[in-house]
Structures are given as C-alpha cells and as structure tokens.
Amino acid sequence: MRPSPRRGLLGPFFGFLLVFVALLPERALAFPWMIHHGYVNCAQCHVDPAGAGILTDYGRAQGEILLRTHYRPMEEEPGKAAEFAFGILPLPVPLKLQADVRPIVIPRPGNVRVLLMQADLRAAVVTGPFVASASVGTVSSGAELAWITRNESGFNLIAREYWMGIQPSKGWLVRAGRMNLPFGLRTEDHILKVRSATRTTINDDQQLGASVAFGSKALRAEAMVIAGNFSVSPDVFRERGYSGYLAWAPDKHLVLGASSLVTVAQADIETLLPRTRQAHGIYTVAAPVNPLAVLAEVDLLADSIDGQPSTGLVGSLVLDVEPTQGVHVQGIGEYCDADFATAGSTWTAGAAAQWFLASRLDLRADAMYGMLYCTAGSTPGPLALLQAHFYL
C-alpha cells in the first residue's frame, strides 16, 4: 500500500564547504538576507509570523523601496506601485490578495525541462484580532503533498496553506489549519538539504495542526502541534508530533536560533515502515559587514525506522552579497550524512545570481556540483536551475 494525495480534498564529524564570494552594498525583502537592513522580525512584512507567503502592506512597500533595482530616483513612498495589481483593483483594508507565478527551467543537456512550479492565488484577512490566510494554485509537476486533484502526469490543483487565528495581545498569534512547519531558516532557495532532509520546505511539506507564535523586537518563537498532512491518505501515512523554533536577535544584524521537530508515523511515506523522525538544530542569520549576509544551519537527524535507530547530520551555508541594489550573488555549500553508521554522505557546492530587475519581477540562475538530495550512494554531477518569479 502506497500513500497517495487525496482526490477532491480541499482541505561523526562535520564541516561546511566554504564558498567564497566577494563583491559590494546592501538591499532585500522576504528573505533572511533582509537582515542587511536590520529586519530580524518576519512579521513586519508577512502575515505568517515566521515569514514567506502573502505580504503585508508594509512588506509590499519595502519590496518596492528596498528590493528591486531602481533606474531613476524614486518617490519616498511607492504609492500604487506597491498595491495589489498596481492599484487597478482597490481592496478593502482588511483584505490582502497576492498572485505568484514561478516557472523553472532545468537545462540538462538533451533533456531541457520547463516546469510551472508555482501559480498561486493567496488571500488573507486581517481585522481586529482575527487573522486568516489561504492559498490555491496549480503546478505542472511536483508538490504532491499539497495536491487537491490527482493527475499523475500533468497539472494539478494544490492548496499549500489555509489557516485562521487570533491575536489575543500584541506580538501573539494563536492559529490552526495547514501551515508551514516552524523550523530553521525559512528561505526560498531551491532546494537546501536542511529543508529537504528535515521535510520542512515551503513547497508542499506543510502540515495540519495548531500553533502559538510570539514575536517582539529581539525574540521570536513558535510551537506547533502537528496533526498530519490530510492531503495524504490513508491515515497511516500521516505524521503527528510537534515542531518549533526559538530565535533571539541580540543585535539588528544578528539572529541566533534553535529548532526542534519530532514526528511519528505508522507507515513512513518513503520507507513504508513505522518511523519516528527527529531533527534538532541551530541556525544563524548575520550581516557581519555591510556587503555580506550569512545564512547557516546545522541539524542533527535522529530516526527510528521499524525500530532500527540511526543518527545523522545535515548543514547548509549561504553567503549573500549585493554588488548593486537588486542584484544578489550567492555562494552555497551543503553537506548531509543521514546515517553515521553507514558509508555515504552527500554534498553540494555552487553559486547563484538573482536580479530583481523590475517591480514584482526577479530572475535567478543556480549552478552547482554535487548531489541534490540527502540520498547516500548518489553520484555527484553538475546541476543547474533557471527561474523567474512575478507577483501581483
């Protein structure tokens, strides 16, 4: 018996590979490297207090001011340029809408693939203490764990998030629904081993559950009770447990964080065997000097598959430099050993360039060498990825 997305459901030793990049100043948005500007609290720019997803009005404005390349002096305030659909469709104040489109090209010799990885319509309502957010979209491939429809060889309707909650007092959010797991660095890099090995990507690893989040100027934390992914059936494949993080910002250019996750499944979606899965780690986001942002995470992996325990480690290091506003160059190093008791670790080293060339539009190219996932025995090779992202 294999897991399947439900039809019609709406509902020991470790060393980083250091990659050096040197260029020159500063800018950014819903990315951890926004720390360049002293942004250590994701809730300023996102409805989700841990970042990613639909932007707040403030986040939209900062995207226009700080994120993209400007070819002439801009006004102090972005005005309608920051509004949904550039202000053509006025929205009531409590309602937030956002449409995201992200095509990806995988330029393998003799096998060039063009995929629609994201075409989402996101909505949020923020009124008084009440907050709700949801997304619906389509993909041409992948994102199986968020499927609403089930088409094994083509486009599918998906729902990555849907949740609602209340803010009982300043800085607090209590919510329930399908959410991104609160763990480690929340980044749009595609796809870091710390996200794939811990199953905490923002692509389709969201889970149904309830969480309590707190955020202040120097402290952020969230704890989530995981009830399972109800886009997967039957029930034996659903993971249940908890996930959470605690992050401290002693300075406006430094964040130190710790994460913990434990889940139990009667039958693991990959091995089909009973599994208790754990990940516990630390991470940091820092801007030690003006041109440079550093994103680093190390996680201990502790598994028990059909009663057989294993321990491993996964880590990622990203160095981000912005030579001119809107242009980012990154060096990326990754390492993973899923089980210290067996021979076989994986690694990846590479670079990326990203250009926020116009309002709401960015292009990114990744060139890497190594193994994409944390799968022992895989053979290293060249990897490349081209993507565009546009949002309204």
- pLDDT at 21 exceeding the cut of 70: no
User: Cβ(346)–Cβ(371) under 8 Å?
Assistant: yes
**CB proximity list for 127: less than 8 A, separation 6 or greater:** 94
Q: Say what the pLDDT of residue 111 is.
A: 85
Q: Please report which confidence band the pLDDT of residue 190 belongs to, taking 50, 70 and 90 as the band edges.
A: low
Q: Please report which confidence band the pLDDT of residue 200 belongs to, taking 50, 70 and 90 as the band edges.
A: very high
Q: Please report which confidence band the pLDDT of residue 136 belongs to, taking 50, 70 and 90 as the band edges.
A: very high
Q: Say what the pLDDT of residue 20 is.
A: 26
- pLDDT at 392 exceeding the cut of 50: yes
User: How many Cβ atoms sit within 10 Å of the Cβ of residue 102?
Assistant: 21
User: Cβ(240)–Cβ(265) under 8 Å?
Assistant: yes
Q: Say what the pLDDT of residue 84 is.
A: 93
Q: Say what the pLDDT of residue 15 is.
A: 33
Give the pLDDT confidence of 98-107 residue by residue, as tens digits.
Answer: 999 999 999 8
Give the pLDDT confidence of 264-306 residue by residue, as tens digits.
Answer: 999 999 899 999 999 999 999 999 998 899 999 999 999 999 9
Torsions phi, psi for 192 (to 5 deg) = -70, 145
Looking at the chain, the whole-number percentage of residues with pLDDT higher than 70 is 91
More confident site: 2 or 36: 36
Long-range contacts of 105-113 (CB under 8 A, 24+ apart): 105/385, 105/386, 105/387, 106/384, 106/385, 106/386, 107/384, 107/386, 108/384
Which residues, listed in sequence order, are joined to residue 362 by a DSSP beta bridge? Answer: 389
Domain 4-11+19-391 in CATH 1.10.150.530? The answer is no
Q: What is the spatial distance between Cα 195 and Cα 52, in angstroms, rounded to a whole number?
A: 14
Please work out, in degrees rounded to the nearest 5, the angle formed at the alpha carbon of residue 301 by the alpha carbons of 297 and 307.
Answer: 170
Q: Please report which confidence band the pLDDT of residue 137 belongs to, taking 50, 70 and 90 as the band edges.
A: very high
Instruction: Delimit the domains of the chain by residue range.
Output: 4-11+19-391
pTM: 0.88
Give the pLDDT confidence of 306-316 residue by residue, as tens digits.
Answer: 999 999 999 99
